[in-house]
Amino acid sequence: MATSYGALCTDFYVNQKLSLKMDLPSERETVLHLFDAIRKAQPSMDRFRRYEGELALESSRRSAEYRWLALRRTSIRTGHVNPVDMNDAYEIHRLVLELAPYHLTISALDIDYVELMLGFDLECKSNHDEVVYDALIADSPMADLLRVPGAKITEVQPLFGLSLDQEKELQAHFEVRTRTRNRRGRTTGRHRQEPISVMVTVRKFGPVNRVEDLLSVFDTLTSHAETLATERLVPSLLNPIARQITSNNA
């Protein structure tokens, strides 16, 4: 990973979601024409897969870096994991915003929202919730809420939302996601090796005036997402959690 963000975590990824109000067309010819156009522009994306409720075009996941595109009933999602740089990270997202409206007959009125997420995964073998609690909560006034005699922390997954404009059409969310535990608060076997995820998501609600405006909306999202990640998420969420993981492993 060559991005400065990638140097801070185990895996770094950039995901986009275009959410629509009406169902997408699902005819074979329509979907295949879009996927062929994407593959021509991104030759590594040559694996066509079906999942439950989803059609996907992906590159090989044997490499640490890979891209993916997923069509669901009312959304188009794209992702780039461990990009070489941020310009490279945004290519697949911009490409889909350019091509999908024409291949899938998406109208400007159909746009519900567009969101961009920067995600940071941190490998953590310790109890995720205890790590996040010690990193973010233990020395804050909120800790008193959880100091119940005989109790044990079983879930700590902070989520904070902000409105970035007066109309509340541009919003941001910071989230820390620990991995699923069973009802007794114990780590289940299949989640024991999964990471703690720290994310910032910026969302712009529609409609837009023209589908061509989606690219300018995307530029707005990238600007806000990078600023919030650099100035807020990294120093206030990511670094404290990473230090706590290191401390637990020491």
User: If DSSP codes are grouped into helix, strand and coil, which group holds residue 193?
Assistant: coil
Closest CA to 96 of 45, 49, 23: 45
pLDDT tens for the chain, 250 residues: list them: 446 899 999 999 999 999 999 999 989 999 999 999 999 999 999 999 999 999 999 999 999 999 999 999 999 999 999 999 999 999 999 999 999 999 999 999 999 999 999 999 999 999 999 999 999 999 999 999 999 999 888 999 999 999 999 889 999 999 999 986 655 555 555 545 799 999 999 999 988 999 999 999 999 999 999 999 999 999 999 999 999 999 998 6
Write down the pLDDT at residue 179: 86
CATH of the domain at 153: 3.30.160.110
Q: Which amino acid is at 78?
A: T
Residue 103 neighbours by CB under 8 Å, 6+ apart: 30, 33, 34, 37
Hey, which residues does 118 pair with through a beta bridge?
14, 200
28-41 and 86-103 helices, crossing angle to 10° = 150
Domain count, the chain: 1
Write down the pLDDT at residue 249: 85
Provide the domain limits for residue 186.
Answer: 6-249
Write down the pLDDT at residue 2: 47
Residue 16 falls inside a structural domain: yes
For 63-169, strand residue ranges (E) read 66-72, 75-81, 111-122, 159-163
Q: Does residue 111 contact residue 204 with C-beta atoms inside 8 Å?
A: no
Residue 166 falls inside a structural domain: yes
Residue 72 falls inside a structural domain: yes
Q: Which two tokens stand for residue 75?
A: 């959304």
Strands 54-58 and 159-163: unpaired
Q: Tell me which residue has tokens 């989803």.
A: 54
Residue 42 falls inside a structural domain: yes
Write down the pLDDT at residue 20: 97
How many alpha carbons fall within 13 Å on the CB side of residue 212?
A: 0
Between the alpha carbon of residue 49 and those of residues 14, 56, 59, 104, 160, the distances in Å are: 21, 5, 11, 19, 34
Residue 17 falls inside a structural domain: yes
Residue 1 falls inside a structural domain: no
Q: What angle do CA 28, 32, 33 make, to 5 degrees?
A: 120
Write down the pLDDT at residue 1: 40
Residue 208 falls inside a structural domain: yes
